[in-house]
Chain A
Amino acid sequence: MDSGFMHQFVQQLINGVSLGSIYALIALGYTMIYGILKLINFAHGDVYMLGAYIGFFCTSMLKLSFLPSIIVAMVGTALAGMIIERVAYRPMRNAPRIAILITAIGVSFFLENAMILFASPQPRTFPAVFSATVYHFGALVINSQQIVILVSAIVLMIALTYIVNYTKIGKAMRAVSFDADAARLMGINIDFVISMTFALGSALAGAGGVLVGIYYNSIEPLMGMVPGIKAFVAAVLGGIGIIPGAMMGGIILGVVEALVSGFISSTFRDAAAFAILIIILLYKPQGLLGKNVREKV
């Protein structure tokens, strides 16, 4: 293999992992909410858009730096997630699954159009919060934004893994997602746990929104649609409802897209994502980390 190919391959791998880590952040929220409510939250991509706008507001109007901006965006989207759950989904808790799904699509349209109304449909330029330093490692190029994205995503994923595995609320989330009635019999307030799950998942999407704003410099009210669907593909790829699966699915999807853009054509990028979805649904519908058998009775 010639070195030009290898170089190109590794370069696309770097691009893919940074894009994929954003997909992973969004996919985590999908998968957590699915795990606990068996609901595909179609509004999740719009929560990510909301995070990007809050980040934009903080950096351009309030002139905040990166860290406070991403924290404000995460808190804002966490609250938004809790409100969405409380207002739109909780009244539908015992409704047929399809009714809740349609509600989620409605919430998605609501958020998109509300943002168009308040912030105008014009794309906004996200201010450069980092000087775009470019680092060269031999022939490889990695810029400071990619490093920030990767580091932020890794820190957030480690934090989430810790919360889910070792804290009381995290264990309660796992208990509720496995067996909600048994969890209620333990004294767990499942409404509270569901609310916290929306808060956590939405905060991760909000962080993803800010990171994407930094990466692509541009945000607009409909920016959540395609990444939202792709993050859903990532969650299904890893096994919906499984947290490490969402991380893995996001990274794989990002890398595949980058490789397709680099070696074939960037116009096939989206096709690659959906081809993955079709293949996984045909051959391993439970996802890469999914198991068919869940319990032994």
Chain B
Amino acid sequence: MAMLTVDNIDVYYGAIHAIKGISLSVNQGDITTLIGSNGAGKSTTLHTISGLLKPKNGKITFEDKDITGMAAHKIVGMGLVQVPEGRHVFANMTVSENLEMGAYLRKDKEGINKDMADVFTRFPRLLERKDQIAGTLSGGEQQMLAMGRALMSRPRLLLLDEPSMGLAPLLVQEIFNIIKEINATGTTVLLVEQNAKMALSIADKAYVLETGRISLEGTGKELLNSEAVQKAYLGG
């Protein structure tokens, strides 16, 4: 069943037509990925889904509710949460304060404490640094913090924008393992990646985005074996 449906949206930055009629759907329980080169419109698509940008035309539906043009903070309240590209942790706040911000909309203190303990179990390095200012963390630790912070809101659909960006290969593998774990515990994932090979290998469904349009779609495996994708994104 489609949890999220994006129906033929157009997004503009001023006069620039960044997204030209994209449609996609994310099924409950899946990992869906959106791959494409720099500037193809991947982040713009996620920002539009999250409500940071408003589409000019088209419709976005989440769990049967129309969320097109809805304020970003309300969308978070519905269980659709994004981990933005470049982590965007609150570098002036401590690791625990960052996690508290993730739980901003929740009032159940016990549940919050439990989830924070879960985040610390999943990311032991954050526990070691919980009173440290987030700006002093390494890139990989900041990515973990950004993901942990998003999990604090108990998302049903998690949008991840380039979680592997700028990380060492070993760390990339670790981040992808964590994404699979998060998905296995019942969170649906929409993953945007430039690392097409890694993303396709864990994806149930995948879309290729090229200059604001979807050029290919299929299961992760289909696209991994597709000649066009291999040529353009997997280096041969």
Contacts and interface: CB of A to CB of B under 8 A. Distances in A.
Bound pair: A and B? yes
A178 B91 CA distance: 8
A153 B73 CA distance: 35
Nearest to A182: B88
B102 to A, nearest CB: 6
Interface in B95-146: 97, 100-102, 104-105, 135-136, 139
A185 B52 contact: yes
Contact of B153 (A168, A179, A187): A187
Interface residues of B, number: 30
A190 B102 CA distance: 14
A183 interface: yes
Interface string A268-297: 000000000000000000000000001111
Contact of A174 (B50, B52, B93, B150): B93
B71 A189 contact: yes
Contacts of A179: 88, 90
Interface stretch (B75-83, B181-189, B219-227, B228-236): B75-83
B101 A175 contact: yes
A295 B81 contact: no
B76 A171 contact: no
Nearest to A184: B72
Interface in A179-221: 179, 181-190
Contact of A171 (B73, B84, B97, B135): B97
A70 interface: no
Contacts of A185: 50, 52, 72, 76, 81-82, 84, 88, 150
6 contacts: A172-B104, A175-B101, A183-B101, A184-B52, A190-B73, A297-B86
Interface of A: 168, 171-172, 174-175, 178-179, 181-190, 294-297
